[in-house]
Amino acid sequence: MNATEDSTEQSGNSLTRELTQNPLKKIWVPSSTNGLPDRHISQRKVCMTNCPTLIVTVGLPARGKTYISKKLTRYLNWIDVPTKEFNVGQYRRECVKIYKSFEFFRPDNEEGLKIRKQCALAALNDVRQFLTDEGGQVAVFDATNTTRERRETILRFAEQNGFKVFFVESVCEDPDVIAENIVQVKLGSPDYTHCNTEEAVADFMKRIKCYENSYQPLDEELDRDLSFIKIIDVGRRYLVNRVQDHIQSRIVYYLMNIHITPRSIYLCRHGESDLNIKGRIGGDSGLSARGKEFAKSLGQFIQSQNIHDLKVWTSQMKRTIQTAEAVGVPYEQWKALNEIDAGVCEELTYEEIQQRYPLEFALRDQDKYRYRYPKGESYEDLVQRLEPVIMELERQENVLVICHQAVMRCLLAYFLDKTAEELPYLKCPLHTVLKLTPMAYGCKVESVCLNVDAVNTHRDRPSNIDVSRLPEEALLTVPDHH
């Protein structure tokens, strides 16, 4: 009994389409009669939203709007939602080459107002291009947007273009927090390159004053039909109104989990394992002698850092747990931190993979991020699996994560805002600890090599990634091993 027979029995039924498996991602897609895959179904893991979203920040200067915009953009891009921020201040700097003083922002400065309005419209125009023509899904419009009038303009613009709008307002009256903001990110702004610290602070405070009189915060009543989150006092309190869809729900959850308490995140791999030495991928082997030495050194290093309330996380694989044991503090095991599942290639050397699965090996080099091992995972799958780990890392303070090469690449890409193309080639050598400390709008990275020898497990992308390449070309970049 085949599909054709069935369909002739029932009138009006379409033929059951054949399924083919996409060779790169191993996803089953229906193929049309010519055998080519059909793009009809949605292959995304989950539909985030059915139309582009415009996130609009609201708040006085030095309330963390740009910090939130950049961080949120980084997170959304990492979970594969194409996002871009549009900072109106930057448009203004391009227009008004030299910043003189706060007087530019005075509400009675007509020339200034004209320029600022033009800049906002120019930014919105770029937003439209990003969301409509460039495949963007979320645009973050980073400006003060403190008047109802300005927000109305944005809402009209969004409506005309079929964008959803979600406001993110930051309200803060704590003078210490504001002062710290100014010191961290405003003093280093291009606006103040020619001022000394006192002058810059004095000018910036006057700048904030220019906005204060006309500031109309989002209101529970007056703005009850808008979708927004009001963040009060750096996350002490939140007011959330009318979350419309999945992506807004995820954004709210993320914003409610981040904090700005100073802390450091330590990332490292397990100590060198027995399989590492043999040049074999995956598996669940124990530490080699050198790996054990690393574990001891790691323990000493951690002690010397005198870290307050350190949490230690490992995967559920033997080699990370053995490493943590030597550190001598309680640790939590996360299955989500397990190494990428290489499916049928588990425990093979690259030479063996080339021999048995030359096509797969080439496909992987063609698109290492999206490539899924047969019966295994892709980096793309890994990122999805690691999202709860990232969320919990955001909540936590000082954490040491002992994990694996591919996993560490994914986590690092999140903190350092690396693209999907760069991610699978980030260098994460054995026996090296990366200390990440949030700083201004980004992350400071300190690399500490603990001086215990280990094999190199990093395989660069070879020049020839064609399926028809010679074995030597495929194996050109394989690191040495026994």
Partner 1 sequence: RFTSRPQFTNCPTMIVMVGLPARGKTYISKKLTRYLNWIGVPTQVFNLGQYRREVVQTYKNYEFFRPDNEEAMKIRRSCASNALKDIANYFTKEQGQVAVFDATNTTRERRGAIISFAKEKGYKVFFIESVCDDPEIIEANIMQVKLSSPDYENYDKEEALVDFLKRIDCYKMSYVPLDEEKDRHLSFIKIFNVGSRYLVNRVQDHIQSRIVYYLMNIHVTPRSIYLSRHGESELNLLGRIGGDTGLSSQGQKYAKALAEFIRGQSIKDLKVWTSHMKRTIQTAEALGVPYEQWKALNEIDAGVCEEMTYEEIQATHPEEFALRDQDKYRYRYPKGESYEDLVHRLEPVIMELERQENVLVICHQAVMRCLLAYFLDKSADDLPYLKCPLHTVLKLTPLAYGCKVESFYLNIQAVNTHRDRPTNVNVARKPEEALQTVPEHL
Annotated binding site for substrate: 269-276, 319
Identify the active-site residue in 85, 169, 293, 339.
339
CB of 325 to partner 1, least distance (A): 9
Whether the CB-CB separation of 133 and 161 falls below 8 Å is answered with no
Residues 6+ positions from 455 with CB-CB distance below 8 Å: 272, 276, 277, 279, 430, 479, 480, 481
CB of 412 to partner 1, least distance (A): 21
State yes or no: residue 244 binds partner 1 (CB under 8 A).
no
CB of 261 to partner 1, least distance (A): 14
CB of 350 to partner 1, least distance (A): 21
Q: Which is nearer to partner 1, 256 or 476 (CB)?
A: 256
The CA distance from 292 to 283, in Å, is 18
Residue 40 annotated to the active site: no
The CA distance from 385 to 370, in Å, is 14
Other C-beta atoms closer than 10 Å to the C-beta of 347 total 14
Which of 95, 239, 289, 439: binder of partner 1 (CB under 8 A)? 239
State yes or no: residue 98 binds partner 1 (CB under 8 A).
no
State yes or no: residue 39 binds partner 1 (CB under 8 A).
no
Nearest to 254 by CA among 232, 231, 233: 231
Q: Specify the stretch interacting with partner 1 by CB under 8 A; choose among 37-45, 73-81, 120-128, 271-279.
A: 37-45
Q: What is the CA radius of gyration of the chain?
A: 26
Residues 6+ positions from 174 with CB-CB distance below 8 Å: 233, 234
Site string for partner 1, 335-374 (x = CB under 8 A): x----------x----------------------------
State yes or no: residue 222 binds partner 1 (CB under 8 A).
no
Q: Which is nearer to partner 1, 207 or 404 (CB)?
A: 404
State yes or no: residue 114 binds partner 1 (CB under 8 A).
no
The CA distance from 391 to 258, in Å, is 8
Whether the CB-CB separation of 157 and 177 falls below 8 Å is answered with no
Q: Considering CB under 8 A, how many residues would be counted as binding partner 1?
A: 54
The CA distance from 58 to 440, in Å, is 20
Per DSSP, 58 falls in state E
Which of 257, 366, 464, 477: binder of partner 1 (CB under 8 A)? 257
Site string for partner 1, 312-341 (x = CB under 8 A): -x--x----x--x-----xxxxxx------
CB of 314 to partner 1, least distance (A): 8
- 4-23 residues in contact with partner 1 (CB under 8 A) are 6, 10, 13-14, 16-17, 19, 21
Residue 339 annotated to the active site: yes
Whether the CB-CB separation of 465 and 365 falls below 8 Å is answered with yes
CB of 16 to partner 1, least distance (A): 6
Residues 6+ positions from 350 with CB-CB distance below 8 Å: 279, 281, 361, 459, 475, 478
Q: Residue 261 has which token pair?
A: 């308490």
Contacts 24+ apart (CB under 8 A), 128-136: 128/157, 128/161, 130/84, 130/86, 131/52, 131/54, 131/161, 131/163, 132/52, 132/161, 135/82, 136/52, 136/82, 136/83, 136/84
Which of 241, 305, 355, 366: binder of partner 1 (CB under 8 A)? 241
CB of 321 to partner 1, least distance (A): 8
State yes or no: residue 236 binds partner 1 (CB under 8 A).
yes
Residue environment code for 247-270, b if the CB has 16+ CB neighbours within 10 A, otherwise e: bbebbbebbeebeeeebbbbbbbb
State yes or no: residue 97 binds partner 1 (CB under 8 A).
no
Task: Concatenate the DSSP letters of all residues of 237-269 into one string.
Answer: EEEEE---SHHHHHHHHHHTT-------EEEEE
Identify the active-site residue in 169, 270, 387, 431.
270
State yes or no: residue 194 binds partner 1 (CB under 8 A).
no
- 383-412 residues in contact with partner 1 (CB under 8 A) are 384, 392, 395
Consecutive H or E run containing 142: strand 138-142
The site for partner 1 (CB under 8 A) is made up of 1, 3, 6, 10, 13-14, 16-17, 19, 21, 26-28, 30, 40-47, 220, 224, 236-243, 246, 249, 252-253, 256-257, 313, 316, 321, 324, 330-335, 346, 375, 381, 384, 392, 395
